[in-house]
Every structure is written in C-alpha cells, then in structure tokens.
Amino acid sequence: MRTQVAIIGAGPSGLLLGQILYKHGIDAIIVERQTANHVLERIRAGVLEQVAVDLLEEAGVADRLKLEGLIHDGFDITFHDQFLRINLKELTGGKTVTVYGQTEVTRDLMNAREKAGLTTIYSAQDVEIFDFESATPKVRFKKDGESVQIDADFIAGCDGFHGVCRASIPKSAIEEFQRVYPFGWLGLLADVPPVQHELLYANHPDGFYLCSMRSEHRSRYYLQTSLEDSADNWSDQRFWDALRSRLPQHLQDSLVTGPSLEKSIAPLRSFVAEPMRFGRLFLAGDAAHIVPPTGAKGLNLAASDIRYLSRALIEFYSEKSSAGIDYYSEKALARVWKGERFSWWMSMLLHQFPESSGFDKKIQATEFSYLQNSIAAQTVLAENYVGLSYD
C-alpha cells in the first residue's frame, strides 16, 4: 500500500488530522490496533476551547456540535466553604468554551471519514514503524492474519501514551519529563441532569470533586481518591452519598442520582516528550504529552498539535516548503508547556495532597484568596481556560 501520510491511531487526533488533510487533497491512511467500537467506548473529557471548535469547523465536522454543544460563559470554584465564579466571557472579552463529549467528536470524525470513503484499518495487529529517519518511512502490521506494509512520505504518531510510535524512537533521541500525582479521579457517568448549568471545580477537606456534564441529560462526576482504591469498592449509592456530602449546601438538594453507565479510576500525571519530530515521524496528542484533566486541556492540546502539523504538511505539499515541518516540534511544545503549566497549577490549587504540610495548606488557601480578590489573577485563569491564542 502507498499513501502520503500514514496516521497511527484512530482517536480524535488521528481522525482530525486525516479529515483536514483530506480537505486539502492529501492522501492519508489511518491504522488503529483497536476496533472502532472500542475507540468509541473510551470515556474522556468534553470541554472544547474555541480554537478547537474552529478546527472542527474547518474539518467540516461541526454541524452536530453546533446543535448539541453547550456554550458555557464561565464555571465555579469552591474552596472549602468559599465560592468563586469565573466569568470567562467577561474576563476574556467574549470568549467561551463548548461542552461536547470527546466520544461525540470521535463519532463525528468517524462518520465523516466513512462518508468520504477514506481508508481506516481497525484491529491492526503487531503494528511497527520503520525507516522514519529516511525519506521512505514504512508501517507494517498484520490484518486478518495477513502481513501488510504501507509506504508513506510521513508518519503521524497519534497512538496515545502507550502507543508504538514514541516507543520506536531511540532512547538517546528523546527526553521525557514527568510528574505522577499521588491520587486518582473516580469518575461516574450517568443519564441524569447536571447538578447545575456550568462546571463546578472544588477543593473540599475530603478531597477534590468536579461536577461536569456531557449534555443537559448526561452528567459526569469525579471524586478524588487513592490510587490504591478500586472502582469495585464504590457502589453507586456510596458514590452519590460521598458527592452529596462534599457539595455546597445550596446544591445538595439539586443533585439527581441514577444508575451509573460507567465508573472507573483514572490516575493523574503530567508528561511531555521532547522533541515531537524525528525525521519523518511526528508525535501528536497523548503520544507526546499528558496533562491532568483538571484544566480541561488534554483534547485541546491534541487539537493544537493537529493544527500545527496539518498546516506544516499542507505547506509541504502545496508550496514544496519544509519550514512548517522543521518548526513543528518547537511551536507545538511551546503551547504544550503552557497547557502543562496551567493544568499543574489547577491541580495544585484544587486537590488534597497527602504529603502536604501545614505550610503547604496555608499557601494553598492563600492562593485561592488571592484569586478570589484579584481580577488580574482571574483573568489569567480565564485566558488559559478558554485557550491561548496561537503564535
């Protein structure tokens, strides 16, 4: 098989890159080790920056998002018994975020790709990449017992944190930066209306919690928990009782409970791999970086990578220029580290750290007090949350 760009991974990063390249007449084949249903079953975040929405519009897959997405002008933070609303629209000169589940983004991209008759190979086994430091990179895998090779001009590694692409890079050529947080998020998804219209982030003495939603009728709630805990230890009733006990008094009676659709514990980590280009192999999304979900930056940083990478490839094919390719890693990483900083800051502010000293707790409380009383500090938070402008 022959293509211009071989994309490894059919999550939102790979699908979005494929769709934008298709719009510009660039051929791409996507290879995914899981089934399409497995990809759609992944439960992920759903807060989109405006720049991510703009990119989905450019890709021609935003019709359902415009109909079903929830526009949020702000969100709330509670710190113990104190309350603060961050008015995104006022603080950023009219910018907002859109709540639309990552599963729905993926579904829209899958449907668009299928409608266009583009090639996506699911259930690919033993995927390997070769010769990406040369002008003739290759992808090899097995499909239905048969060996398959794809010859390409470029390989885009959109295959996640545990994917083959980053693992194929020589250790001497890549540097990794990581922080693992000493807790996880126990998440519950249920078909119940959200406890309030906008998201609520909270630091409670019993631990962080987040009230979010996927739609007006589907809610996603999180509780901070130990990494040694198991979702099996949490009945639905135990989860709802714990959440209600942490909610502010005025919201406790508004909590609607119901059977969970999904319940799991996710560890939190900050991770960046540098650089993001190796010859004709490019890393994008979770293959290159992970953020704790506190700042709602995971999918948005992936979209940011795809924006830079798609433009670099379009420039290469339309203008015969390698400038965008040469600067892809530098540009992408500059934005990634800003997202990492913001997600780290939100995580430090809102969680109960088991190793915190009395001094640490005082600093955390003072940080919230400063945020509460400083429009400048709130503006910095809001600007980062809605998405920083591209350089």
Active site residues: 72, 201, 293, 297, 385
Rg (C-alpha) for the chain, rounded Å, is 21
Contact 308, 283 (CB under 8 A): no
Helix axes 12-23, 102-115, angle to 10 degrees: 40
> Distance (Å, rounded) from C-alpha 301 to C-alpha 100?
16
Q: How far is CA 232 from the centre of its chain?
A: 26
> Distance (Å, rounded) from C-alpha 69 to C-alpha 256?
21
Short-list 361, 306, 362, CA closest to 336: 306
DSSP 155-180: EEE-S-TT-HHHHTS-GGG-EEEEEE
Name 142's bridge partners: 125, 147
> Distance (Å, rounded) from C-alpha 207 to C-alpha 351?
6
Cis peptide before 275 (omega within 30 of 0): yes
Non-local CB neighbours of 170 within 8 Å, separated by 6+ positions: none
Q: What are phi and psi of 50, to 5 degrees?
A: -60, -35
3-state SS assignment for residue 352: coil
3-state SS assignment for residue 128: strand
DSSP 197-264: SS-EEEE-TT--EEEEESSSS-EEEEEEE-TT--GGG--HHHHHHHHHHHS-HHHHTT-----EEEEE
Helix axes 323-350, 375-386, angle to 10 degrees: 130
Q: How far is CA 69 from the centre of its chain?
A: 17
